[in-house]
Amino acid sequence: MQTNRQTDRQTDRQRVVLGERFEQALLYAAQLHRQQRRKVTGVPYISHLLGVAALVIEDGGCEDSAISALLHDAVEDQGGLETLAVIRSQFGEQVADWVWACSASPRPMGQSWRSHKAAYLQQVRQAPAEVRRIILADKLHNGLSLLVNLSLAGSSIWDEFSGTQADIIWFYQACCKLFPETDWMAARLRAVRQALEDS
């Protein structure tokens, strides 16, 4: 028997409509990140943005959520506040606010990797529900990619990251505490965390 929450989520999924704004955001994201590649595999970065957007859509996210998922790394990786201004102009206040809420501030010189991530985790705790959904999808897709990379290249992958293996496992442990156990993406994230701990 379905719970009310499950029924609500199913209804949300059925109501999602992706129109021209989503198509424009997809093109903009592809243009912004054209030269960017994923660590270890070197595949085009758009693969990650599509993966995050897919998870958000599958979870019943609205069009603004899907657009924000496509653009969640745009400010952080591709132009900062100037890019944010373009997003605000082209896709509206809500998308710009959500993308900004997903963006980690640059790490100050001298700050440790863990301290920087701890500040980001505090930012996530205070974020609106739609932003938390996008961030959860982001962490899940990144975690799944890590497991693929481990299977392809072994422990040498850790050399590609700013944090150590222990740092990254700590981060996934901390992320898992931020999201409800009943959330399907959070359950998958916990499985990823366990696999990373066992690696």
Domain count, the chain: 1
**In which domain, by residue range, is 11 found?**
4-198
Tell me what the mean pLDDT of segment 178-190 comes to.
93
The pLDDT, as a whole number, for residue 76 is: 94
Please give the mean pLDDT across all residues of the chain.
92
| 72 CB-near residues (< 8 Å, 6+ apart) | 49, 52, 99, 102, 103, 134, 135, 138
| DSSP 8-state assignment for residue 105 | P
The pLDDT, as a whole number, for residue 182 is: 84
The pLDDT, as a whole number, for residue 181 is: 82
Residue 89 has pLDDT above 70, yes or no: yes
Tell me what the mean pLDDT of segment 107-126 comes to.
94
Residue 102 has pLDDT above 70, yes or no: yes
| 195 CB-near residues (< 8 Å, 6+ apart) | 147
The pLDDT, as a whole number, for residue 180 is: 87
Residue 11: pLDDT band (50, 70, 90) is low
pTM over 0.75, yes/no: yes
Residue range 117-131, pLDDT digits in tens = 999 999 999 999 999
Say how far apart CA 190 and CA 184 lie, in whole Å.
Answer: 10
Residue range 60-71, pLDDT digits in tens = 999 999 999 999
The pLDDT, as a whole number, for residue 188 is: 97
The pLDDT, as a whole number, for residue 17 is: 85
Q: Are 149 and 40 in contact (CB under 8 A)?
A: yes
48: domain CATH number? Answer: 1.10.3210.10
> By percentage, how much of the chain surpasses pLDDT 70?
93
The pLDDT, as a whole number, for residue 1 is: 47
Coil, helix or strand for 39? coil
